[in-house]
């Protein structure tokens, strides 16, 4: 009767329960005890409560599955197999369910097989532990998450999670030992969504740290702006056991240890024996831990990391361009292109004022020019490199430049322009307290409308005399100026303008006067005091002026009638001199004009008769204003014979020839001479001799 009721109940469950599907439970977790026992956890079976008979647990230790136990309590979901030996190899498990179908007990097939995690830890004696294990199921089910979790125990202490490995990766892990010596045990764990945790067997060994820590990464080498010493900063070594850092400096191509910085997180060092203000210095850093090994025993020391070099900046000053050019070496070995430099920033301090940024260059540039500077100022510069990721900076040394220039000439004085022997002589006084590289003399022939260069000189002296021979001083005046070039061959100064005096003379033969007109002299530093007029007679100038005129008078009329009866030959030449007062340079000058001449016609009176016994008992021409050196008089008789001859203008004919009175009658005279202008004059006529 009981059997019939149970069969009826099962039929009702089977055909009346919606979505009914009888299946064995899912094994969720397998925990391996240190002695190899295995604890199995599964999910309880649902929908079979009325017909549940038992759970059957099966194990395979390598020789096939066999049942290890039966559990007839539906709500029991765990079982521990003693002596499973899962510490020696992986063991596979599955759980089935048995139910009564009304006539017989039915055992449902297992859902899947789950393996214990067997962990094998090997010690290659190189300071690492190698962990290898198997999957619990292939592929690992999603209800177990994504990771194998790696736990470590040191010297029987508590287990600590040290890392994880994705299911998708190889079941392999290499642990770097960061303690000097310890018994290290490992365990692999997997979390299940229902809250249980699978764990592997425990395996381990006595391990020693034989691996040097990784070297630190330098973040910058810089130059301290106050001390001028190199400073180094770095990131702590990613190896947690690094206990100290070795600072190395490259000296003459070799690496020398200069100091040791202790403490894993101490990441700054200043090199007090630095020459970073004189050269670019290169530094590297190595790390060591607190574990000693080897023969002889020594700390585990890393190789030196990537070295960095300080920026060494220098300046050069262009005195002519008033600019300072800053040059520096590239900063290298940050991560990224261009040595890991995104840009260089240029800072300047003038006269010890706070530094300000004056420019920026790309990471490729290593030069910058600071233009348009003041003279007699102290300019100091610093270059700051910016890393490609904008996280780090490095400063150069401070380099300074005093912008002193060679002294420039302070004045340029064209002291004189004067006419001398039909040329123009210039007198120039440069300022020798400044440096003059060249003087260049310019001339204007159109009253200053345009100037052209005609003379240069690089040998500079206190007083410089320049002659201009390409002139026609009798036709016009000339203007001059001088450009002074400094040591950079730039025009530093332009002198005053000096203009020569041009004199013109016109003769008035009617009034026996000569009219002088001249251009004024320009431009002296001192005052123009007066004009002095000098006249030459018969080619000889008087030593004293014939007139002294005020500085604003540019003409003079010379009355030469007073010279009648003298030996003046009729050509009168003049020269005008301008006189300067004492100027600010302690000098005074005199400028002479060209020599200009005027010709007065000769004045000649020749008597045409003489009375031997009368009042006019001698005969002679009366002459003025001619060239007496060419003067000649001849008297001829009717036969053409010369009966009187003289070249003395004061000599007279007394009417005799060879001591005897000549017969009364008509005689021919010939008077020849040259004018002052060198024109020949031949005068002929007759003389009547009477008693």
Look up tokens 């089910």; give the residue: 141
Q: What secondary structure letter does DSSP report for 348?
A: E
Going by pLDDT thresholds of 50, 70 and 90, the confidence category of residue 239 is: confident
Prediction pTM value: 0.58
116 φ, ψ (degrees, to nearest 5): -70, 155
How buried is residue 310: exposed, middle or buried, by Cβ count under 10 Å (0-12/13-18/19+)?
buried
Of 261, 259, 304, residue with least CA distance to 285: 304
pLDDT digits (tens, 9 = 90+) for 208-228: 888 888 999 999 999 999 999
Q: State the DSSP code for 279.
A: S
Q: Is the pLDDT of residue 115 over 90?
A: yes
Q: Which residue has the tokens 């003693």?
A: 82
Per-residue confidence at 240, pLDDT binned at 50, 70, 90?
A: confident
Q: Give the whole-angstrom CA distance, residue 253 versus residue 417.
A: 69
pLDDT tens digits, residue range 178-210?
788 899 999 999 999 999 999 999 999 999 888
Band (pLDDT 50/70/90 cuts) for residue 405 is confident
pLDDT in tens, 594-622: 999 999 989 899 999 998 877 888 999 99
- For residue 426 the two structure tokens come to 């210039």
For residue 3, what pLDDT is reported? 34
pLDDT tens by residue, 628-685: 889 999 999 999 999 999 999 999 999 999 989 999 999 999 999 888 778 899 999 9
Bridge partners of 66?
Answer: 59
Considering the chain, what percentage of its residues have pLDDT values greater than 70? 97
Q: Which is it for strands 147-154 and 181-191: parallel, antiparallel or unpaired?
A: antiparallel
Examine the pLDDT at 12 and tell me if it is beyond 50: no
Residue 487 pLDDT: 86
Question: For residue 198, what pLDDT is reported?
Answer: 97
Q: What is the pLDDT of residue 21?
A: 61
pLDDT higher than threshold 60 for residue 16: no
Q: The tokens of 687 are what?
A: 């003389």
Nearest alpha-carbon partner for 346 in 310, 376, 309, 385: 385
* Average predicted confidence (pLDDT) for the chain: 91
pLDDT tens column, 418-461: 999 999 999 999 988 888 889 999 999 999 999 999 999 999 88
What is the per-residue pLDDT across 21-79, written as a single tens digit (0 to 9) for each?
A: 678 999 999 999 999 999 999 998 877 778 999 999 999 988 899 999 999 999 999 99
Please say if the pLDDT value at position 364 is more than 70. Answer: yes
Number of alpha helices (DSSP H) and beta strands (DSSP E) in the chain: 1, 58
Of the listed ranges 77-81, 287-291, 360-364, 474-478, the one predicted with least confidence: 287-291
Q: Where are the beta strands (DSSP E) in 156-273?
A: 159-166, 172-176, 181-191, 197-199, 203-208, 218-223, 230-234, 242-251, 254-262, 268-271
Residue-level pLDDT at 20:
45
| Average pLDDT of the residues in 462-467 | 92
At residue 293, the pLDDT reads 74
Q: Which phi and psi angles does 335 have, rounded to 5°? A: -75, 135
Identify the DSSP state of 168: T
Ordered structural domains, the chain, with CATH? 2-115 (2.60.40.10), 119-208 (2.60.40.10), 218-309 (2.60.40.10), 313-402 (2.60.40.10), 412-499 (2.60.40.10), 503-599 (2.60.40.10), 603-690 (2.60.40.1220)
pLDDT of 37 reads 97
pLDDT in tens, 480-509: 999 999 888 889 899 999 999 999 999 999
How far apart are the C-alpha atoms of 462 and 203, rounded to whole Å?
103
- Is the pLDDT reported for residue 338 higher than 90? no
């Amino acid at each position: 009767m009981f059997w019939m009721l149970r069969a009826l109940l099962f039929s009702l469950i089977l055909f009346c329960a919606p979505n009914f599907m009888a299946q064995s439970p899912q094994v969720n977790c397998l925990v391996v005890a240190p002695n190899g026992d295995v604890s199995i956890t599964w999910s309880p079976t649902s929908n079979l409560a009325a017909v549940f008979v038992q759970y059957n647990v099966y194990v395979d230790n390598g020789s096939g599955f066999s049942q290890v136990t039966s559990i007839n309590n539906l709500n029991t979901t765990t079982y521990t197999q003693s002596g499973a030996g899962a510490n020696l190899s992986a063991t596979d498990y599955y759980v089935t369910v048995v139910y009564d179908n009304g006539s017989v007990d039915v055992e449902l097939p297992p859902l899947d097989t789950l393996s214990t995690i067997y962990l094998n830890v090997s010690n290659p004696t190189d300071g690492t532990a190698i962990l290898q294990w198997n999957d619990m199921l292939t592929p690992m089910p999603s209800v177990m998450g994504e990771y194998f979790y790696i736990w470590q125990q040191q010297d029987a202490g508590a287990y600590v999670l040290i890392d994880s490995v994705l299911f998708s990766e190889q079941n392999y892990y290499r642990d770097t030992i960061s303690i000097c010596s310890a018994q290290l045990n490992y365990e692999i764990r997997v979390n299940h969504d229902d809250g249980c945790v699978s764990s592997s067997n425990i395996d381990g060994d006595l391990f020693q740290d034989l691996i040097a820590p990784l070297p630190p990464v330098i973040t910058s080498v810089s130059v301290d702006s106050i001390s001028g010493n190199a400073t180094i900063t770095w990131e702590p070594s990613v190896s947690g056991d690094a206990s100290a850092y070795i600072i190395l400096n490259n000296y003459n191509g070799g690496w020398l240890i200069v100091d040791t910085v202790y403490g894993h997180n101490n990441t700054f060092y200043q090199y007090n024996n630095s020459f970073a203000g004189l050269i670019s210095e290169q530094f590297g850093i190595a790390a060591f831990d607190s574990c000693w090994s080897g023969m002889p025993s020594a700390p585990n020391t890393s190789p030196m990391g990537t070295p960095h070099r300080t920026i060494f900046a220098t300046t050069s000053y262009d005195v002519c361009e008033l600019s300072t050019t800053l040059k520096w070496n590239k900063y290298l070995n940050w991560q990224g292109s261009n040595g890991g430099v995104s840009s260089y920033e240029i800072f300047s301090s003038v006269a010890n004022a706070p530094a300000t940024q004056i420019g920026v260059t790309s990471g490729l540039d290593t030069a910058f020019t600071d233009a348009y500077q003041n003279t007699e100022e102290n300019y100091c510069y610093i270059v700051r490199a910016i890393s490609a990721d904008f996280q780090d900076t490095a400063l150069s040394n401070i380099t300074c430049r005093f912008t002193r220039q060679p002294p420039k000439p302070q004045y340029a004085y064209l002291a004189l322009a004067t006419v001398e022997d039909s040329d123009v002589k210039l007198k120039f006084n440069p300022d020798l307290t400044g440096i003059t590289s060249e003087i260049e003399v310019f001339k204007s022939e159109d009253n200053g409308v345009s100037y052209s260069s005609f003379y240069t000189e690089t040998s500079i002296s206190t007083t410089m005399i320049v002659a201009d021979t390409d002139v026609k001083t009798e036709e016009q005046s000339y203007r001059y100026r001088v450009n002074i070039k400094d040591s950079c061959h730039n025009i530093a100064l332009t002198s005053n303008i000096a203009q020569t005096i041009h004199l013109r003379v016109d003769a008035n033969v009617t009034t026996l006067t000569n009219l002088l007109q001249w251009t004024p002299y320009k431009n002296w530093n001192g005052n123009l005091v007066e004009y002095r007029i000098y006249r030459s007679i018969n080619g000889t100038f008087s030593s004293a002026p014939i007139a002294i005129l005020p500085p604003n008078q540019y003409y003079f009329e010379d009355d030469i009638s007073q010279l009648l009866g003298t030996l003046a030959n009729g050509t009168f030449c003049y020269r005008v001199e301008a006189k300067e007062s004492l100027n600010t340079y302690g000098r005074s000058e005199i400028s002479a004009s060209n020599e200009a001449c005027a010709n007065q016609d000769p004045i000649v009176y020749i008597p045409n008769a003489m009375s031997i016994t009368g009042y006019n008992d001698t005969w002679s021409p009366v002459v003025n204003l001619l060239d007496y050196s060419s003067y000649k008089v001849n008297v001829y008789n009717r036969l053409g014979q010369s009966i009187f001859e003289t070249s003395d203008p004061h000599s007279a004919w007394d009417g005799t020839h060879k001591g005897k009175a000549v017969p009364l009658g008509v005689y021919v005279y010939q008077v020849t001479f040259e004018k002052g202008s060198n024109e020949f004059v031949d005068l002929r006529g007759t003389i009547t001799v009477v008693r």
